[in-house]
Structure 1
Amino acid sequence: MKRLTNQQRLLGGAAAAVIVLGGGFAVWSMTRGPEAPAEAAAEAEEEHGAGEALEMDAARIQAAGIILAPVGSGSLSAEIVAQGTVVGTPQGEAVLAARADGVITGVSLRLGDSVRAGQTVALIESREASSIAAERATAQARLTAARQALAREQRLFDSQITARQDLEAAQTVLAEAEAEARRTSSAAAAARVSGDGRSTGVVSPISGRVTVSNATLGAFVTAGTELFRVANASQIEVQASVSADDAGRIAPGDRASITLPEGEVQATVRSITPGVDAESRAATVLLTVSGVGGLRPGQAIAVRIYTRDAQTSAGVSVPEEAIQTVEGREVVFVRTATGFNPVPVIVGQRSAGRAQITSGLTAGQTVATRNAFLLKAALGAGEVEH
């Protein structure tokens, strides 16, 4: 009987504890109110909202293919979007043509090969080369004979055997022989005549790569036939077409940008044609590129020109792909020292792939553009884990 009494006492104590805890929970619920769980959830969500920073170093950014771009200043309404073409500068492209009629006997380069300035890329066996070489040899022989004749007349004159006029005549003949020797040597150098006098060489005047190759071994070509075209990828510029009205708003020195998969390439307006093309009714704007980036001669691109009005007006803009939606809010991932910080923004007008930011960003900040959705996904994964 004594053991049964102890069990009853234990059961009674447990029941009392349950009653006390239940009563305390009821009192807390009445004091907290029905809206307390929702407020707590909102507070937790706010603490872990779009402002959470993402840590990511430069190596991970590059591996993920995330492209960075600076925040541009100015209003979109004052910007001009135009189509352009990448072309070589006058010093960045060269046409290599045959210098004489003849048969191609040697080709040392192919399409895409690198070439150095002064390098011979082909040989043409030509009768003209033989004629030039013969004229050069004849002129050199006459020069040698004229020098010997002058030396002989000088000795005779010094011995008072011949008159001064004979000495002066020998000096005149030597001067004529020297002039003829220079002419024939220059002609041989211009034709790139080989040492044996049988061939002329096709030589590249610039360093670069072969972009066009029309030389076929054994083919007969005439003087002036284009055989190769060489381009230096580091010597390029951009020609953009704009309307006559837009051309009046552009001035030399205006800033411009070119959007590429690798990011934005900065450029500067160098000049604008004074008139418009009769067929296209468009003026041509010449842009100087700051750094080559991923540009290649012949490439078609889109150019954004920031006029003086765009550079002085208030507001900033970013590429549209930089804007992501997180928890119903539009944010832009701003680059920090350790990674990215999602900053809420207010978006204004959109035009040609860019968006005006009316609040949230300042000019000069660096933001993620291409593949910014990967940062959004990483932020979402962090929230789930949290």
Structure 2
Amino acid sequence: MYFDDKRLVAGVAGALVLAAGGGFMAARWTSESSTAAAPAEEAAEAAPTSLDLSAEAIRNSDIAVEAVSAGGFGSEIVVQAVVASSPTGEAVLTARAGGAVTRVFKRLGDPVRAGEALAIVESRDAGQIAAERSSTAARATLAQRNLARERYLYEQKVSSRADYEAAQAEAAAAEAEARRASAAMGAANVTRDGRGTAVSSPISGRVTSATAILGAYVQPEAELFRVADPRQIQVEASVGPADMARLAAGNRAVIELPGGGTVEGRVRAVTPTLNGQTRSATAVIDVVGEALQPGLGVRVRLYPSLGTPGNAIALPEDALQSLNGKDVVFVRTTKGFRVQPVVVGQRSAGRVEILSGLKPGFQVATRNAFLLKAELGKGAGEEE
């Protein structure tokens, strides 16, 4: 009985020792786990939320910044458009008279000044116009002299009043003929020697089309050159019937270029009727201070002033980045950028709607915003 009690006491003591040891190991494991998790949580909490960048560094990285405005997709009209020359930004140069091309001064792509001659067309018509101008000028001079003589004779009571009035009428008719011939010579742009007509440009720009061939015979009004001024352009956007009623002159427009980047513009007018083939109206957008190539296809975001806009904000998808599993954007600050968490709504046509997290007026990085995310991650790695 004594030995049985002794074995029982020993077993209980061993169990207590094992229990104590297990408790110690569990406590130690828990402590080590907590200690290992703490730096990760602190690192997550200490992740940088701002990035210092100079304006020069931002420009060198080609990071675009866009001001956000309220309205969301309800306040935007995203349409396709084409860059076209304005009515005063392109000139078609034609032959003023039939003849042979004897001089060609400009070729395709050459710069042209307003009034500069691009070619000379030698023509018999030009010779006739010059000859008529000379003869009418001579008759007008003779008529003026005859009028002066008749005036003197009339004042001296030698000639009758009828002769004096006839001289006046003859002088007026001769002067009118001289002006007509002079205008015809100017319209034909006849050269000084009277042998040909000069093909001149009324605007400054560059030659965009050149069909004049040295020695070729051309008919009157045949097109020889086209000159366009890249500074005088307009963007023509096609809008649907529902959207045309929301647009008004002066509405803001953002032109998205194919190679990246945007250009600001303003709606100048919207055609009141629909195109018979496309069943759409045309919004004409003025672009100031930008040289865009006519014929370039672009995408345009129009911001109509009519209708009721929403409260959300729409941004290019390039502006939205994912950081630690959260949707964020980079807001411009005086020192660089800061991370701003946002709540995302619907997406459409390369745009994303921001439901909350931003306020109108914020400057947000759009193009190449991923570079800021990469730079932020680099800074976090260095800190660790």
Q: TM-score, normalised by structure 2?
A: 0.87
Residue of structure 2 in register with 1:12 after alignment? none
Asked whether the equivalents of residues 319 and 369 of structure 1 are also in contact (C-alpha less than 8 Å), the reply is yes
Tell me the distance in 1 between the aligned counterparts of 2:59 and 2:158: 90
Q: Offset at 1:307?
A: 2.5
Instruction: Tell me the distance in 2 between the aligned counterparts of 1:205 and 1:35.
Output: 82
Asked if 2 retains the 8 angstrom alpha-carbon contact of 1:251 and 1:271, the reply is yes
Distance in 2 (alpha carbons) for counterparts of 1:315 and 1:131: 72
Contact residue 115 and residue 201 of structure 2 kept, 8 A: yes
Shift of 1:240: 1.0
Contact 1:73–1:311 (Cα < 8 Å) also in 2: no
Aligned match for 1:150, one of 128, 147, 150: 147
1:181 Cα offset (Å): 0.7
What SS does the aligned partner of 1:206 have? Answer: coil
Q: CA deviation at 1:337?
A: 1.5
Give the superposition deviation at 1:74.
0.7
Partner of 1:163: 160
Summarize the Cα distance change of 1:205–1:132 in structure 2 as closer, same or farther, 3 Å threshold: same
Deviates more, 1:72-81 or 1:90-99: 72-81
Contact 1:143/1:181 (8 A) holds in 2: yes
Cα distance change of structure 1 residues 318 and 325 upon mapping to structure 2, 3 Å threshold:
same
Query: For 1:264, which of 262, 265, 288 is the aligned residue?
Result: 262
Distance 1:306 1:150 in 2: 69
Gaps of 5+ in 2: 1-24
Query: Match of 1:329?
Result: 326
* 71-80 vs 333-342, which moves further: 71-80
> Is the 1:254–1:307 Cα contact (8 Å) retained in structure 2?
yes
Distance 1:142 1:77 in 2: 73
Which residue of 374, 378, 381 maps to 2:375? Answer: 378
Superposed CA deviations along residues 175-213 of structure 1, whole A, max 9, x for unmatched, are 111111111011101111111110111111111111111
Secondary structure of 1:224 counterpart: coil
Letter in 2 for 1:346: V
AA at the equivalent of 2:345: G
Deviation at 1:156, TM superposition (A): 2.5
> Is 2:71 the counterpart of 1:70?
no
Shift of 1:100: 0.7
Residue in structure 2 matching 1:240, options 237, 240, 247: 237
Tell me the CA shift for residue 161 of structure 1: 2.3
Residue of structure 1 in register with 2:3 after alignment: none
% same residue: 48
Partner in structure 2 of residue 356 of structure 1: 353
- Rounded to whole Å, the distance in 1 between the matches of 2:188 and 2:303 is 48
Which residue in 2 is equivalent to 1:200? 197
**Aligned residue number for residue 177 of structure 1:** 174
For residues 325 and 230 of structure 1, do their structure 2 counterparts lie closer, same or farther at Cα, with a shift above 3 Å needed?
A: same
Q: Structure 2 CA distance, aligned partners of 1:221 and 1:171?
A: 43
Partners of 1:252 and 1:156 lie apart in 2 by 68
**Is there any run of 5+ residues in structure 1 with no aligned partner, and where?**
1-25
Q: Pick closer, same or farther for the CA change 1:147–1:309 going to 2, 3 Å.
A: closer
Q: CA deviation at 1:290?
A: 4.4
Shift of 1:132: 0.3
Q: Distance in 1 between matches of 2:150 and 2:275?
A: 69
By how many angstroms is 1:95 displaced? 0.9
1:40 corresponds in structure 2 to: 39
Task: Summarize deviations over 1:79-98 as a string: whole Å, max 9, x none.
Answer: 22211111111111111111
SS at 1:35's partner residue?
helix
The size of the alignment, in residue pairs, is 357
TM-score under structure 1 normalisation?
A: 0.86
1:254 maps to 2:254: no
Matched-pair contact (CA < 8 Å) for 2:231–2:292? no
Partners in 1 of 2:154 and 2:307 — Cα distance?
84
CA contact (8 A) 1:206 1:230 kept: yes
